Structure 1
Amino acid sequence: MRAPAGLPETPSSRMDAQESPAGPDPVLPYKGRVRGLTIILLVLLLVPSWSGEPRRVLFRRDLSVRATRFVPAGGWPARIGALRPVGALSLSARQPGFGGFSALALHRDHAILLNDGGNVVRLRIARGMVRTLPGSTLDDGPGTGWRKDSRDSESLVVDPASGRAWIGYERVNAIWRYAPGFGHAEAWSRPRTMRRWGENSGPEALVRLADGRFLALREGALRGSGPRAAALFDGDPARPGTRSATLRYLPPDGYAPSDAAVLPGGDVLVLNRRWQPPLRFDAIVVRVPAARIGAGALLRGRVIARFGATLGGENAEGLAVSRERGATMVWLVTDNDGAGWRRTILAKFRLVE
């Protein structure tokens, strides 16, 4: 620590200065080299090693989202199965890596878009106008948060009353609970029923059922077939010790679940996507009756919508449900994988019962 200015020099320091011989001190260069090596060693010991991988993209809190009207080639059909198109927006922003949205939730008067790198974007949509609200990034979560795969956030549930949020993470197959606004984590767990779900095929869908239970669906192989693992929680899945049971979900052949949402009556909508090389996707929405959801069950449902090329071949990953003037609205968001040349589409449909 440097001494405060104004303190008098000690006699010994004055004497040393006066008695120093003229010319360079041959010992000083050696001392300098030793000091330099010591500093380098301390840095290597105290600073965590860099793996060589770049830091995950962090969205600016004040980013502004630009929304333009999206209409598929040939226009919207009058109906897509049980869904009647209301409108859609193509979203963009002057932000490197913008997009990559893997989950969608609606809370009060705004939409919450969560991307697979731990970034949260909030949009208020009213009377055809879109306003960007302050966003956030998940500081708390698995790992250090430096690399993208330590914030591989794939599924989201937001409590309408408190604003608390539950996020499902791939790679580690964990569920974290966050305080309102995502400011900090409150609890987390790696449930026993999810530990064998694989590194890149974990809790792609998470939904809170009408009775307070939680249902998580494993993604599995994108182009696979057959039942996918699922977990049913008696309560908060982020609280260690919450009882859970295994069950399975059977998606349409060749599809994988990507998100889910609960309907007002308790049934669950499951969004399923199919990858068609090289970079085209299509989506199907399945309705699963609430009465079939239980420990050990094989969840099946009926297809209520087939999107085909209606979403421009983009990757539908997020699903949410809202109620407006007595009608049930179904929302979808697509994942552009952070590629600026691909579209991020937020679409809204009315459910025809």
Structure 2
Amino acid sequence: MRRVAAIAGLVVLLGALLGLAPVPPAVLAASPKLPDGKVVIDTRPVPYFGIGEANRDRFGKLEFLGGLELLPRDRHVGGLSGLVVSEDGASFIAVTDNGLWVSGEIRQDEAGRPLGLTPVDVAPILGPDGTPLVLAGRGDTEAVTIDRSGETPRLLVSAEGHHSVYAFGYPLDTSQPAVPLSLPKAVKRLRYNKGLEAIAASSPDGPLGGTLVAIAERGASFDDDMQGFLIGGAVPGTFTVRRHDDFDATDAAFLSGGDLLLLERRFNLRHGIGMRIRRIDGDKLKPGAVIDGETIVEAGFAHQIDNMEALAVHTTASGDTILTLLSDDNRSILQRSLLLRFRLADN
């Protein structure tokens, strides 16, 4: 029986490493102590986006600025699934799919090209009772956004499984426990591992009036459109996003003009690995709408991508719109954590 239990535990852990299943709380509790402090992340440059195309920097409507492969010195610091960056792009806050905050500084040049990371701060994300979310079986945090609709800004974090959105103060204080948001009942009916993968808080000065836009990774079945939610703000309700070409939603971010960028990921035997970003007209985000969007970039095996799950946007002092993308390596030796930077070439 001990041998069967050991094999079962190994299967669960291998499945988690490959992104096939979440790690149960009991297994995590028995694992080494979660990091809480400084962690060094070594980096390796990603000088070009198209494999074998060192002289090409234009891809769709994006210009590749540069990238980094992230090599953390702590095995827990992986699975990067959500991201926000500061207004100047020099600092970031990320969440991981094992319930951690990861925050730090990005060394960059004047164009926003990433050059490296300073040692990052890592801490468990605390649930409403102060217990780390991951130890309560709620640590599959997938996205983060900054909500500026209230008197003071706050960070909103979505979690899969027990589908939730949690609020935290901003600037980040990792000792703060989560405050759960009230969500539409339909959110709780989403598939267990296909929950609110993409969230983005709209501008309080825009037509959505600070509404939180949340999009499920996939619909009720493989062929269904993706369910979207307009939570709080001026226009609460639901909408759907057309799903085609087997892509799933993984993150979203608003542009300064009010349009929404939707990051999508694909991985299957038919198409292999893929990444796509669609630009959705912000004026079409209304209750009952069925929306699509213009593809501004699509990439696959011929490009430097992995399991692309996180997207953040900032604007430089010169007015350039910069996109920062992160990949979720599922803490697997078969995958990579990538930080990629692009400039939106066609506004």
Q: Normalization by structure 2: what TM-score?
A: 0.78
1:14 is matched with none
User: What are structure 2's unaligned runs of at least 5 residues?
Assistant: 1-23, 110-114, 204-208
Counting aligned pairs with the same residue, the percent is: 23
Q: Distance between the aligned counterparts of 2:165 and 2:280, measured in 1?
A: 23
Q: How many residues align?
A: 298
Partner of residue 106 from structure 1, selected from 58, 66, 85: 85
Q: 2:315 — aligned with what?
A: 323
Counterpart residue type for residue 219 of structure 1: E
Distance in 1 separating the partners of 2:144 and 2:238: 20
Aligned to 2:276: 284
The answer to whether the aligner puts 1:347 opposite 2:340 as a matched pair is yes
Residues 220, 197 of structure 1: alpha-carbon distance in 2 compared, 3 angstrom cutoff: same
Higher relative contact order (CA 8 A, sep 6+): 2
Deviations 1:87-129 (A, max 9, x none): 0001011112331011111134302221111111113123334
2:187 equivalent in structure 1:
194
- Distance in 2, matches of 1:107 and 1:64, equals 20
Structure 1 residues 245, 111: CA separation in 2 closer, same or farther (over 3 Å shift)? same
Q: Which residue in 2 is equivalent to 1:239?
A: none
For 1:222 and 1:87, how far apart are their aligned partners in 2?
37
Single out whichever of 117-126 and 55-64 deviates more from structure 2: 55-64
Change (3 A) 1:194 1:223: closer
The amino acid that maps onto 2:99 is G
Displacement of 1:225 in angstroms is 3.3
Deviation at 1:253, TM superposition (A): 2.2
- Give the residue type in structure 2 aligned to 1:152: D
Q: Does 1:74 align with 2:52?
A: yes
In the alignment, the residues of structure 2 paired with residue 279 and residue 118 of structure 1 have an alpha-carbon distance, to the nearest angstrom, of 30
Deviation at 1:317, TM superposition (A): 0.3
Q: Are the equivalent residues in 2 in contact too, given 1:225–1:253 (CA < 8 A)?
A: no
**Whole-angstrom CA distance in 2 between matches of 1:223 and 1:312:** 30
CA distance in 2, matches of 1:224, 1:175: 24
Q: Does 1:171 align with 2:165?
A: no
Higher deviation after alignment, 335-344 or 252-261? 335-344
- Cα distance 1:190–1:53, how it changes in 2: closer, same or farther (>3 A)? farther
What amino acid does structure 1 have at the position aligned with 2:140?
A: D
Q: Which residue of 2 aligns with 1:41?
A: none
2:62 matches 1:62: no
How does the TM-score come out when normalised to structure 1?
Answer: 0.76
Distance 1:279 1:60 in 2: 39
Picking from 219, 222, 225, the partner of 2:223 is 225
Cα offset, 1:148, TM superposition:
7.6
2:97 to 113, 116, 121: 116
* Structure 2 CA distance for partners of 1:113 and 1:350, relative to 1, 3 Å: same
3-state SS in 1 of match to 2:167:
strand
Larger mean Cα displacement after TM superposition, 272-281 or 203-212: 272-281
**1:160-180 CA distance string (max 9 Å, x none):** 695521011111111110123
Gaps of at least 5 residues in structure 1 are 1-49, 236-241
Residues 162 and 338 (structure 1 numbering): CA distance in 2 closer, same or farther, change over 3 Å? farther
Summarize the Cα distance change of 1:248–1:51 in structure 2 as closer, same or farther, 3 Å threshold.
Answer: closer
Post-superposition Cα deviations, 1:271-326, rounded to whole Å, max 9, x if no partner, equal 01101349952101000001110001011101110112255451000011110121
How far did residue 352 of structure 1 move? 1.2
Range with greater deviation from structure 2 (322-331 or 307-316): 307-316
1:45 aligns with: none
Q: Tell whether the 8 Å contact from 2:43 to 2:69 is kept in structure 1 after alignment.
A: yes
Per mean C-alpha deviation after superposition, the further-off stretch among 79-88 and 248-257 is 248-257
- Aligned-partner Cα distance in 1 for 2:220–2:324: 22
CA distance in 2, matches of 1:253, 1:162: 40
DSSP-derived class of the 2:119 partner: strand
Structure 2: distance between partners of 1:332 and 1:222: 27
* Residue of structure 2 in register with 1:96 after alignment: 75
Range that drifts further, 270-279 or 204-213: 270-279
Q: Does the Cα contact within 8 Å between 1:54 and 1:147 map onto a contact in 2? A: yes
Q: Which amino acid aligns with 1:120?
A: W
Equivalent position amino acid for 1:156 in 2: V
Is the alpha carbon distance of 1:189 and 1:303 closer, same or farther for their aligned partners in structure 2, counting shifts above 3 Å? Answer: same
SS of 2:58's equivalent in the other structure is: coil
From the CA coordinates, give the structure whose radius of gyration is larger. 1
8 Å contact kept, 2:126–2:133: yes
1:169-209 CA-partner distances (Å, limit 9, x unpaired): 11111111012314322343343231211211110000111
CA RMSD of aligned residues (A): 2.8
